[in-house]
Amino acid sequence: MAATAARPLDRADLEALDAYWRAANYLTAGQIYLLDNPLLTEPLRREHIKPRLLGHWGTSPGLNLVYAHLNRVIRARSLDVLHVTGPGHGGPAALACCWLDGSYSEVYPDVPRDGEGMRRLFRQFSFPGGVPSHIAPQTPGSIHEGGELGYSLSHAYGAAFDNPGLTVAAIVGDGEAETGALATGWHGNKFLDPVHDGAVLPILHLNGYKIANPTVLGRLPHGELDQLLMGYGHEPHYVEGDEPFAVHRALAAALDRSLDRIADIQRTARTGGPGAGTRPRWPMIVLRTPKGWTGPEKVDGLPVENTWRSHQVPLSGVRDNPEHLVQLEEWMLSYRPADLFDEHGRPRPQILRHVPEGDRRLGSNPHANGGRLTRSLPVPDIRGHAVEVTGRGTSAHSPTGVLGGLLRDLTAATADRRDFRLFGPDETASNRLQAVYEATAKNWQEEILPTDEHLARDGRVTEMLSEHNCQGWLEGYLLTGRHGIFSSYEAFVHIVTSMVNQHAKWLKVSRELPWRMPIPSLNHLLTSHVWRQDHNGFSHQDPGFVDHVVNKSPEVVRVYLPPDANSLLAVADHVLATRDRVNVVVAGKQPSHDWLGIEEAVDHVDRGVSVWEWAGTDTGRDPDVVLAAAGDVPTTEVLAAASLLREHLPDLAVRVVNVVDLMRLAPAADHPHGLGDHDFDAVFTTDKPVIFAYHGYPWLIHRLAYRRTGHPNLHVRGYKEEGTTTTPFDMVVLNDLDRYRLVMDVVDRVPGLALRAIGVRQRMAELRNRHRSWIREHGEDMPEVLEWTWPG
Amino acid sequence: MAATAARPLDRADLEALDAYWRAANYLTAGQIYLLDNPLLTEPLRREHIKPRLLGHWGTSPGLNLVYAHLNRVIRARSLDVLHVTGPGHGGPAALACCWLDGSYSEVYPDVPRDGEGMRRLFRQFSFPGGVPSHIAPQTPGSIHEGGELGYSLSHAYGAAFDNPGLTVAAIVGDGEAETGALATGWHGNKFLDPVHDGAVLPILHLNGYKIANPTVLGRLPHGELDQLLMGYGHEPHYVEGDEPFAVHRALAAALDRSLDRIADIQRTARTGGPGAGTRPRWPMIVLRTPKGWTGPEKVDGLPVENTWRSHQVPLSGVRDNPEHLVQLEEWMLSYRPADLFDEHGRPRPQILRHVPEGDRRLGSNPHANGGRLTRSLPVPDIRGHAVEVTGRGTSAHSPTGVLGGLLRDLTAATADRRDFRLFGPDETASNRLQAVYEATAKNWQEEILPTDEHLARDGRVTEMLSEHNCQGWLEGYLLTGRHGIFSSYEAFVHIVTSMVNQHAKWLKVSRELPWRMPIPSLNHLLTSHVWRQDHNGFSHQDPGFVDHVVNKSPEVVRVYLPPDANSLLAVADHVLATRDRVNVVVAGKQPSHDWLGIEEAVDHVDRGVSVWEWAGTDTGRDPDVVLAAAGDVPTTEVLAAASLLREHLPDLAVRVVNVVDLMRLAPAADHPHGLGDHDFDAVFTTDKPVIFAYHGYPWLIHRLAYRRTGHPNLHVRGYKEEGTTTTPFDMVVLNDLDRYRLVMDVVDRVPGLALRAIGVRQRMAELRNRHRSWIREHGEDMPEVLEWTWPG
């Protein structure tokens, strides 16, 4: 809980704040410009300047100011504060601050907190072999990539969920605030429980400009901005100015008022005082200071400070323009480095007066290296949730419905720990996971009416019709070391494609950093998938998220397509135990055939690809053809095709293969899950036709398998962008993935079969035609499809 | 301009409004449930009911209400109104209304406006072979797919831009309002010029519930909601209730007040009255009515009306549950169909009292079939903008910079027509298109300061740091028949992946509808691409948007990778003339070598793939190896590799191929641009090693070319998710796409060369090592790379 203020600020406090700020600004400019001479102990010369000037100055002075003041309140109030910096291209500011507080040198001992360390800090920034210009996994104290903008608030709320002792300071840039993700990110406060969650303190940094334009929020009249922020449910505290000490005083006061208010809110909620149980109006800060503040006022006669021109490198010609060189030296000396650093380049003690110690430093907060806090999940034994399979496909269950039971028990088992959550855009029940409501409720901080169901302040299912928030909240939750699942309509997970990109990139780099501890994986459950959009049609049909994910680093990405309920349980059991991955699980919610007993399912998931001997007719002999499936609907069609082949072509040796771990198809050299060529060939053969029924766009299978010996014989059926509001079986017919078409493919591809099986082929074509006229007349699938079961 | 009201409402007006509304509600329910007996002329029986009940009732009564009232104001004020319906899953409402106004039967004569037509209208809805359940291209009067939520406001603003006579009524669902896209969509009013643009009237429909939850905005206290909407810059008019006639009166009054206000705003702005030139506070309407209003109040003892339970099909067991059947009949009869339709099933004249005529009907508005209004663009002769190429690669230009000149002249040429716009997230100048500011400015309706540059009320460059808005605005602009380009950082166009999905799906279906006229293509210019993120690093490196786009319908998607400035001009010339496509153009903004004269470039773009004979050494003989490139950076590396091969292995017959139209690689059967196998083989050979340097993820080339005879010899280099903030050449080295690596690939792959060229291979490896140590020491690329030019 945020403690209330200890004592008023005195002059020494203010001067220490200002000195820290000047030091951070000095270090920021130094990183952008200097190769050497970090303390300006000699006159600045051309050879001290980097040949390529890269970085973002504009936002940095504001970020440094916020860090300086957060240090003070952390120390004064013994707070546990995590910072999330939206304008993350201000990377040099974050680096400057954690070098100053000592946390940088702790994880990077080759960059010590002295003159030589400062030289290296400067040189490495945006330099080949060095550190990126944005806040990145390499930046201590950060959970938030500074590349793409818009996710600061959702990351901040995700970090605060179930962390009642944590305060997350979320610095929102006014450029960032224009993005869709950020615009809906404000509503995170409708899902923050003041009892069980920590606090989020948004600090909207209005520096007025983006790359080339004023910002929308920066130019709003004050009254309209105030209405907007009040409308977002906040109590805004304004800090505006360009006179440093006045701003220091105002920002310190605003922080104290805000943190007092947070402490009040939490005390009230947690002790059941008046107002407990109603959504509070959380404080926030609006910080309006000039872009590029304290940098060059004018360059080449044009205003730079307080304009968009200070966004990146305000003096761009320093190496070749002596005037720029002089201006840079004057600018850096204006911070009075000799007052800030001793003769060894170490920060003087007085500038560190407010810097907290140990894990309370912003650069060392353990929540920002969430793996330090992760505990393994107590996943219940999946055998207790398994579907009993007495015959192949004789029963049917909703795979996600069965998973719901497991997740209910997992939710119950983490009731006290509160380190597992489900996120989804208004679809948890639609996706058949509603059993979890027996163990928890949906989080809701607005008014709850008597007619509402499953809503509660402390619910651990978090639903909002914003994929951006669901994804951002889950990322924030994972990055701070907890566990979760995002369940979504398959087509609309594309909304967060770009966010998943950034998270996968974060994980890829994190894995390469020994000091970053592994965090729980990002688990995407894609359901309500392409084949069962009965209500919704073409706009809801897009299985291409998998195509996107497989482009990311192979160390990070995994894709699972469990063919039935028990397989989904086995997949869930596996992915919940993994770390540092993006696991994509595609599973239907409609009742579908149960094929595998639970032990078989565990084995299947373990292998990733299995020959289903019970379904094939190739026992003891070489197959004539391989029928392979990946996905629940394709599995049913492949098995139905196999049963048709048994009936019509009993002599044919058919091998049936099922793929649950899609990356098994990739070469072993390309992906850690890739099958070796020998194993691949043993399953798929090197010379027999393989008819592959795939859940998604068929080309993906070719993209994974093109280097395999048998690839020329591989024939893939999948979704090819044909669909509408129609029956389930019509969807597979429209895309040529249906059992009849698969049998025709077998007839067409098995050498020598075409002539012998001409009647079978014709019969299949007739059945496709019968289907078409049947559904147009009856509006539902024909009985032989609806009632089909495996004959075994 | 929205005219002011003509006369007050009388009782007959109100009754006609209510009758229309009841008729639309009746037709909505009928579509969801009935196969037959549309007029309930006989008692409802099981066989009249559809076997599968699909559709969304909950939002539909509210949509019908809005349509009824829009009809009245269109007619009373002679308005030109386009509707954009955010809750587009209310498809049956839109269909009901345009069947009632007669526009449906005009485009679908097989569904006439009589009893038989009504029967067909009902039967076809969500029925195999029929019409989708959502608003879709098949729906007359719509530009807005009803699948994915969130784009209504950005589509509405896009439609209103440069349409000064148009009023766009944008119905925003309260579920939809939670999405990121919609949350930032409100800021469209900061870019709407009351002089040159039309009006957008947002109608926020608070029916309180989503699929399974209350909505965030629906549960806000009134004061907070009011602050939010005022904060968005609107003047909200509230209509709330559940007593039909009271709501009719209130909604009619709110519409009249809002349209009066719009007329005032436009009059003031256009006549230069007091307040002209400042951003007005545009009106909006908040309509709070029950979800599923007028439907079953309770079903099986549970409340349905005014809860989430009315979202889809309120009575789900009608076919097998006699109680539900009775309830359905009572519900439908409650609208008194006999009062609404005559004995032939035709709407009685009194219910059509307010329905406008001809193109003023919402179902027939020409802006909703934008191709009806499209004029060809007066693209200037690209030869006037061409770069002079006196030697191969002896000069260098920024391709997008050169394109900027063309776009400037095109902007000037459309100054009066105002049917061409550029959209981008704050990056037009960063993307080097700033020449357009010589012809127009950036649109800005907030305060303009003396220090600002290139901002004006009537600017036709529209920049906001929201890819969602840029994309949505452009889509709205295109769908209403105008032209445009979205220029974006390559990595961050992923933010709108899902929107592009929906637009491509819209185009695919539209092309199949004879009455939908072709609209200008969606042109994406992806620049600031993966290879030149010098400032930004890993988070800004993602060339995977192309992978995503090629999954969409081949009739719709095209991908171009011009190798130089003149090729980009030729590509731009082509794509601006196309219709109904998604054209993705990837081009760098940094100065890069000029390879082709303009006539060569036009020819190259026309062919799509060319052998660059001047660069090869295979003239008059079979090549030993093919070096192919797609993309500007890969082209340079391939040519540098070719020059190294000339130097080190002068006997080797090297063919150099350039691919500008990526879909040429696909089989002709799969894509209209696909090369026939004969042509493909003539370029790439069937048996020689092909070293292919590709701009993006290398697997895409395999995915396109896997069926080609020579595919086993194809070896692709591309971006493989390796990168950081580093030098341009280091980026290609990190991803093994550099000239030295390509030469090594040639040595490794050309049969018999490995031994002979062992020294060359070693020299290349040394150069790669030299590069690594050079950049770490100097921070920039080594002279032989920086200064390399084609030796020819």
Q: pLDDT tens for residues B345-355?
A: 999 999 999 99
Residue of B nearest to A308 (CA): B452
pLDDT confidence band for A7 (50 / 70 / 90): low
Whole-number pLDDT of residue A685: 97
- Tens digit of each residue's pLDDT (9 = 90 or more) over A22-57: 999 999 999 999 999 999 999 999 999 999 999 999
Average pLDDT, chain B: 96
pLDDT-based confidence at A1, cuts 50/70/90?
Answer: very low
Token representation of residue A204:
């909207």
Q: Say whether residue A130 is in contact with chain B using an 8 A CB cutoff.
A: yes
Helices and strands, number each (H, E), in chain B: 25, 22
What strand order describes the sheet that includes B282-288?
B80-85, B166-173, B199-206, B282-288, B234-240
Per DSSP bridges, beta strands B582-586 and B522-527 are: parallel
The count of other CB atoms within 10 Å of the CB of residue B672 is 11
User: Which class for B191: exposed (0-12), middle (13-18), buried (19 or more C-beta within 10 A)?
Assistant: buried
**Contact (Cβ atoms closer than 8 angstroms) between residue B16 and residue B353:** yes
Question: What kind and span of H or E run contains A204?
Answer: strand A199-206
Tokens encoding B686: 């069937």
Strands (E), B145-188: 166-173
Record: contact A542-B467, CB cut-off 8 A? no
* Residue among B198, B199, B204 nearest B240 (CA): B204
pLDDT at B744 over 60: yes
Q: Report residue A725's pLDDT band, with 50, 70 and 90 as the boundaries.
A: confident
- Whether the pLDDT of residue B277 is over 60: the answer is yes
- CA dist B707 and B711 (Å) reads 7
Contact A347, A27 (CB under 8 A): no
**A88, B537 in Cβ contact below 8 A?**
no
Distance, in Å, from the CA atom of B372 to the CA atom of B365, rounded to the nearest integer, reads 10
B777–A contact, CB cutoff 8 A: no
Length of chain A (residues) = 792
pLDDT score of B7: 63
Q: What are the tens digits of pLDDT across the range A134-164? A: 999 999 999 998 889 999 999 999 999 999 9
Rounded to 5 degrees, φ, ψ at B155 are -60, -40
> Which domains are seen in chain A, by residue range?
19-357 (3.40.50.970), 374-440+473-496+517-592 (3.40.50.970), 608-786 (3.40.50.920)
Identity (one letter) of the amino acid at B278? Answer: T
For residue B650, pLDDT beyond 80: yes
Distance CA A432, CA A527 (A): 9
Residue A267 has pLDDT above 80, yes or no: yes
Kindly tell me if the per-residue pLDDT of B19 is higher than 90.
yes
Q: Count the neighbouring beta carbons within 10 Å of the beta carbon of residue B668.
A: 15
Closest-CA residue of A relative to B455 is A213
The amino acid present at A563, given as its one-letter code, is P
The pLDDT score that the predictor gives to residue B1 is 45
Question: Parallel, antiparallel, or unpaired for β B298-299 and B302-303?
Answer: antiparallel
> Mapping DSSP to helix (H, G, I), strand (E, B) and coil, where does residue B634 land?
helix
**pLDDT (0 to 100) of residue B209:** 95
Please name which of B103, B305, B323, B285 lies closest in space to residue B206, comparing C-alpha atoms.
Answer: B285
Which residues in chain B are closer than 8 Å to A429, comparing Cβ atoms? 211-212
Mean pLDDT confidence for A333-344: 97
Cβ atoms within 10 Å of A264's Cβ, excluding its own = 18
Which of A129, A544, A727 lies nearest to residue B776, judging by beta carbons?
Answer: A129
A494, A727, A731, best to mutate vs chain B, most B CBs in 10 Å: A494
- Across the interface, of A427, A552, A711, the residue whose CB is closest to B211 is A427
CA torsion angle B635 B641 B642 B645 (round to 10): -170
Report the C-alpha gap between A682 and A626 in whole angstroms. 11
Report the candidate in B488, B469, B57, B77 with the shortest Cα–Cα distance to residue B262. B77
Is the pLDDT score of B3 beyond 60? no
How far apart are alpha carbons A73 and A354 in whole angstroms? 8
Q: What is the pTM of this model?
A: 0.97
Q: Which H/E stretch holds residue A461?
A: strand A461-463
Chain A CB within 8 Å of residue B15 CB: no
Spatial separation of the C-alpha atoms in residues A596 and A212, rounded to whole Å: 59
In this model, does residue B239 exceed pLDDT 70?
Answer: yes
Three-state SS for B17? helix
Query: In whole angstroms, what is the distance from residue B227 CA to residue A233 CA?
Result: 9
Per-residue pLDDT at B778 exceeds 60: yes
CB contact (8 A) between residue B187 and residue A216: yes
- What are the phi and psi torsion angles at A292 (to 5°)? 65, 25
CA distance A74 to chain B (A): 31
Confidence of residue B251 (pLDDT cuts 50, 70, 90): very high
Interhelix angle A115-124/A91-100, nearest 10 degrees? 160
Pairwise CB contact (< 8 Å): B214 & A446: yes
Spatial neighbors of A257 by CB under 8 A, at least 6 apart, are A237, A283
The answer to whether A527 touches A490, Cβ cutoff 8 Å, is yes
A257 touches chain B (CB under 8 A): no
What ipTM, to 2 d.p.? Answer: 0.97
The percentage of residues in chain A with a pLDDT greater than 70, rounded to a whole number, is 99
- What's at A577, amino acid-wise? A
How many Å separate Cα B582 from the centre of its chain?
8
Please give the C-alpha separations between residue B19 and each of B8, B12, B37, B252, B334, in angstroms, as whole numbers: 19, 10, 21, 15, 12
CA distance to partner chain B, nearest, from residue A365 (Å): 23
Answer yes or no: are the C-beta atoms of B358 and B364 closer than 8 Å: yes
List A149's β-bridge partners, or say none. none
Given a contact cutoff of 8 angstroms between Cβ atoms, the answer to whether B724 and B710 are in contact is no
B 553-592 near A (Cβ less than 8 A): 553
First to last CA, chain B: 63
Query: Alpha-carbon distance B146 to B80, whole Å?
Result: 22
Q: Both ends of chain A: CA-CA distance in Å?
A: 63
Which residues is A396 bridged to in the sheet?
A593
pLDDT (tens digit, 9 = 90+) per residue, B361-387?
Answer: 999 999 999 999 999 999 999 999 999
Nearest-angstrom CA–CA distance, B64 and B66: 5
Instruction: Read off the tokens for A455.
Output: 């809503």
Q: How far apart are CA B333 and CA B331, in angstroms?
A: 6
Least Cα distance to A200 among A155, A230, A237, A232 occurs for A155
Chain-centroid distance, C-alpha A171: 19
Strands (E), B394-528: 396-397, 420-424, 442-443, 455-456, 461-463, 483-489, 522-527
Please check the confidence at residue A231 and state whether its pLDDT lies above 70: yes
Total Cβ atoms within 10 A of residue B83:
28
Residue B549 confidence (pLDDT) above 50: yes
Adjacent-strand bridge partners of B94: none
| Environment class of A18 (CB within 10 Å of its CB; exposed 0-12, middle 13-18, buried 19+) | middle
Query: Any idea which residue has 């060894």 for tokens?
Result: A344
Asked if A776 is an interface residue toward chain B (Cβ–Cβ < 8 A), one would say yes
Contact A660, A560 (CB under 8 A): yes
Rounded mean pLDDT of B567-594? 97
pLDDT at position A2 is: 46
Q: Are B454 and B441 in contact (CB under 8 A)?
A: yes
DSSP-derived 3-state class of residue B548: helix
Q: Which residue has the tokens 């009732």?
A: B57
Q: How many CB atoms lie within 10 A of CB B415?
A: 12
Give pLDDT, residue B2: 46
Provide the shortest C-alpha distance from residue A494 to chain B (in Å): 5
Is B180–A178 a contact, with Cβ atoms under 8 angstroms apart?
no
